[in-house]
Amino acid sequence: MNRLRVLKLGWEFPPLINGGLGIACLGLSQALARHVDLRVVVPRAAPDSGFEGFELLGLNHLRIEDVEAAESVYRYESFAQIDRVPIHLDPYDSDETTVEKIRMEPGGEVRFSQTTRNQLEQFKMGDLYGSDLGSKVIEFSKIAAKLALQSEFDIVHAHDWMTFLAGVEVKKATGKPLVLHVHASQYDRAGADARGWIFEIEKYGMEQADAVIPVSRYTGQICASHYGIKSSKIHPVHNGAEPVKVFSTKKKFPEKLVLFLGRLTAQKGPEFFLEIAAKVLERNRNVRFVMAGTGERLKPLIESGAFRGLGGYFHFTGFLNKEKVNELLSMTDIYCMPSVSEPFGLSALEAAQFGIPAVISKQSGVAEVLKGALKADFWDVELMARHITDLLNDDELRERVVQQAAKDMAASTWDAAAAKVLDVYRSLMP
């Protein structure tokens, strides 16, 4: 069989943003590049990223001349009547956001399909998310389609909703099969009742796709049930984990340390962690809880912790950089991830590399990978607390969990993930 040619559409890409999405896209791209010819298009790339094995194109480096040749043959299909989508979304923002109404302008299809110098400019500066995210998503899809019309490839593979429109546009313009990768859905971010533009794009994209790759069976079930996508085209592929440099630091205090790490948003279940801590501390005073990270829930969480009288044993760190996170991991005894809905949960794997046993919610993808981790429903704080207490008291149990995690970790590589993705590609080839 010939080497496949894949056009990959991404949004975040290291080293510009080091969120989970970018890290996963990079890991998968590097592994896939060993098997396919890969071109990755993102809104913005660092000037000389120089990744080996695949080509990375940031629209911030694109000139208007690069897309001109395709202007005459391309008509925008998806949202042709929309003039402006006022949307503000920033997953790393700590304030609550509001959304305005979409403005329609009938009969603007032809003008709409063109790309102007100004539209290209918006990828050069400002935020990747922010107030003009809606228009960036649309412009990205137009430009992606024009680039696709000028290049040779067999499959288009898009990552998360910001690129789904682009994937659909590319498929409509070229007729190539479309693979959508779901790293997180609006169901995870905003809850089961979330509806609106982003939900509609996700649903529309998955309906148009030839194959959907969720990062876990858990997320696959959401695609099938919540978005009504046919199960036969859903193929879950777990993320891999890059090996991290592991070290250990001696704690400056005698108590054991239980860690929560992540953005302080409802999705991550920080309130449940607080409840779990309160329950454990009722039984065992020889333990400290640390909530690392920041987000819009920080202030209410601090007040709630004070109300429960946890201060002195429950610590908030605020935002931590990678170095500090690793320092924290190096002294942690138990990792707790009570996410309400976690498509994957890479941080639990990173903790496992540090030899930390994990107590995680069943509503997470990583629960399928870490077979030995102690699990409970996110709302079952009693069971979570019992798991933590058991790990604190029972060294044998602790050892078993850590051993099993080491085995599971060994299988969780990007190469394994790439092999499965390759199978999906091949199944779509005539």
Partner 1 sequence: MPDLCLYFQVHQPNRLIPYDFFRIGEHAYYEDEGLNGEILSKVAEKCYLPANAMFTKAIQESRGRFRMALSISGTVIEQMQRHRPDVLRSFQDLVATGNVELLAETYYHSLAFVHSKKEFERQVELHLDKLEEVFHIRPRIFRNTELIYNNAIAAQAETMGFDGILAEGVPWVLNGQSPDYLYRAPQVCQLKTLLRNIELSDDLGFRFSDRSWSEWPLTPEKFAGWIKRAPGDVVNLFLDYESIGEHQGRDSGVFEFWERLPDAVLDEDVKWVTPSEVVDLFRASKEYDCHWPTSWADAERDLSAWMGNVMQQEAIAKIHKLEEEVLAAKDAELSHAWAKMQTSDHFYWMSTKRGTDGSVHEYFSPYGSPYDAYMYFMNALADLQIRIRRSLEARAMMDGGG
Q: Looking at this protein, which amino acid is placed at residue 128?
A: L
Only segment of 191-199, 260-268, 320-328, 358-366 that touches partner 1 (CB under 8 A): 320-328
Q: Is 106 in the site for partner 1 (CB under 8 A)?
A: no
Kindly tell me which of 92 and 307 has the beta carbon lying closer to partner 1. 307
Reported as type and span, the H/E element at residue 117 is helix 117-121
Kindly tell me which of 61 and 251 has the beta carbon lying closer to partner 1. 251
Q: Is 271 in the site for partner 1 (CB under 8 A)?
A: no
348 neighbors 402 (Cβ within 8 angstroms): no
Q: Is 322 in the site for partner 1 (CB under 8 A)?
A: no
Cα distances (angstroms) measured from residue 38 to each of 56, 204, 342, 360: 9, 26, 29, 35
Question: How many angstroms separate the most distant Cα atoms in the chain?
Answer: 72
Kindly tell me which of 66 and 255 has the beta carbon lying closer to partner 1. 255
Q: Is 15 in the site for partner 1 (CB under 8 A)?
A: no
Closest CA to 22 of 7, 11, 38: 11
What DSSP state is assigned to residue 100?
Answer: -
- Binding characters for partner 1, 274-313, by CB under 8 A (x = yes): --------------x-x-------xx--xx--xx-x-xxx
What is the rounded distance in angstroms from the CA atom of residue 266 to the CA atom of residue 191? 9
In whole angstroms, the minimum distance from the beta carbon of 343 to partner 1 comes to 29
In whole angstroms, the minimum distance from the beta carbon of 42 to partner 1 comes to 35
Sheet holding 287-292, edge to edge: 314-318, 287-292, 256-261, 334-337, 358-361, 374-376
> Could you say which of 35, 88, 235, 251 contacts partner 1 (CB under 8 A)?
251
Q: Is 195 in the site for partner 1 (CB under 8 A)?
A: no
Only segment of 8-16, 101-109, 133-141, 315-323 that touches partner 1 (CB under 8 A): 315-323
> Could you say which of 35, 226, 315, 362 contacts partner 1 (CB under 8 A)?
315
Angle at the Cα of 307 from the Cα atoms of 304 and 312, rounded to 5 degrees: 90
* H-only helix segments in 122-254: 133-149, 161-174, 186-190, 197-208, 217-225
Kindly tell me which of 47 and 312 has the beta carbon lying closer to partner 1. 312
Kindly tell me which of 50 and 312 has the beta carbon lying closer to partner 1. 312
Number of residues that bind partner 1 (CB under 8 A): 23
What is the rounded distance in angstroms from the CA atom of residue 56 to the CA atom of residue 44? 10
Report helix, strand or coil for 281: helix
> Could you say which of 77, 271, 296, 327 contacts partner 1 (CB under 8 A)?
327
Kindly tell me which of 113 and 330 has the beta carbon lying closer to partner 1. 330
Cis peptide bond prior to 15, omega within 30° of 0: yes
Q: Is 242 in the site for partner 1 (CB under 8 A)?
A: no
Kindly tell me which of 16 and 302 has the beta carbon lying closer to partner 1. 302
Only segment of 2-10, 35-43, 191-199, 248-256 that touches partner 1 (CB under 8 A): 248-256
In whole angstroms, the minimum distance from the beta carbon of 257 to partner 1 comes to 10
In whole angstroms, the minimum distance from the beta carbon of 265 to partner 1 comes to 17
Q: Is 329 in the site for partner 1 (CB under 8 A)?
A: no
What DSSP state is assigned to residue 4?
Answer: P
Kindly tell me which of 162 and 298 has the beta carbon lying closer to partner 1. 298
Concatenating the DSSP letter of every residue in 246-264 gives ------SSSSEEEEEES--
Cα distances (angstroms) measured from residue 48 to each of 20, 28, 31, 122: 22, 20, 20, 20
Residue 419 CB neighbours (<10 A): 14
> Could you say which of 217, 286, 318, 427 contacts partner 1 (CB under 8 A)?
318
Q: Please give the residue ranges that form the binding site for partner 1 (CB under 8 A).
A: 251-254, 288, 290, 298-299, 302-303, 306-307, 309, 311-313, 315-318, 324, 327-328
